[in-house]
Copies of this chain bind each other. A is one copy, B any other.
């Protein structure tokens, strides 16, 4: 009847068993963090697709969202499902791996091989748990920049991502404008709204209310707060969709029976669907990582990082109001996204206009809600393809990548 019947076969595999690259960074000196401390040496796990060209000018950094990871365009090592952005990244896709060299790293604080609460604290030899520092979007980007340095890339051709990925894109453009040619922040915001903080807090409280959480020390206790994490995912998942999409997909359709059961089983298809979302999520995600990454999103406030004026994030100080960012922007929002509604993208566009930056902005008509950026939305892919092709021409990238 209830989630207690959820018994995922096992915890996600140890990071050493995951396919792909895993780099030790911050070895010479630890990386500074926004909380005033440092991190290092630390691991960053990443994947690449395509080939870096001779002058290293065709690199595209993809930034993943809250529960995403580095497996952008290949089978996921745990779920066995296609990569989360195979519609966007691959041969002939808008981010064409025959032309571009695509990099995606798991964020720090994450649970797919990058340093995070699930990993081993070298100082103690035990899982970090809550002793892992609370990191920010800027910290995540700082780690990615070390990776880009390591790969010898002076300037990324493009940084692109949706939702929390879009926050990283904005942070990249604001902090390292000389290292970014083009930026595509999708379905995102320059700061997390009160409502979004509230939804995140519900998810965190659900995890922390699970007795198996053990104050974050569950890995040392041989447990995992599966039920709390599943409920957190269920609540969040509703916010990724839209009422019209839920109505179209499920309506009030009943599950495997002709009439209601007068009980608490999943009578409605939307209930089974949600339960499945919760159950499958705990098989691949770490509960403490969920706390850390939601917190990083809550803390994100790009204007606050620049004296309270968002436009200041996109100009370097100087006479006559400073110099506008050299980065070319293309912002995308989706009409039915109520988690990161269009007005949030528009606020960024206004700030970019205020410094006369190079910016285009498209709101895609879609009833699929926030998740639209992960789904089949032809107009969206056409917009990204067109923008990248235009930028590639400006950048002088040849038609083929290597």
Give A contacts to B, CB under 8 Å. 1-4, 34-35, 130, 133-134, 191-195, 197-199, 201-202, 204-206, 208-211, 227-228, 230-231, 234-235, 238, 241, 243, 246-247, 249-252, 260, 262-264, 266-268, 270-271, 274-275, 278, 291, 295, 298-299, 301, 338, 341
Contact = CB atoms under 8 A, between A and B. Distances in A.
- Chain B CB within 10 Å, residue with most, of A3, A198, A274, A298: A198
A250 B228 CA distance: 26
Main DSSP-derived SS at the A contact region: helix
A208 B192 CA distance: 30
Contacts of A270: 194, 197-198, 201
Nearest to A237: B198
A231 B243 contact: no
Contact of A268 (B4, B197, B227): B197
A378 to B, nearest CB: 25
A209 B210 contact: yes
B231 A198 contact: no
Q: Please provide the 9 A-B residue pairs with the shortest distance between their CB atoms, ordered closest to farther.
A: A209-B227, A2-B208, A35-B262, A134-B262, A194-B246, A195-B243, A201-B271, A202-B235, A194-B270
A209 B230 contact: yes
A266 to B, nearest CB: 8
B260 A299 contact: yes
A193 B262 contact: no
A195 to B, nearest CB: 4
A252 B191 contact: yes
Contact of A201 (B192, B193, B241, B274): B274
Contacts of A251: 194
A262 B298 CA distance: 11
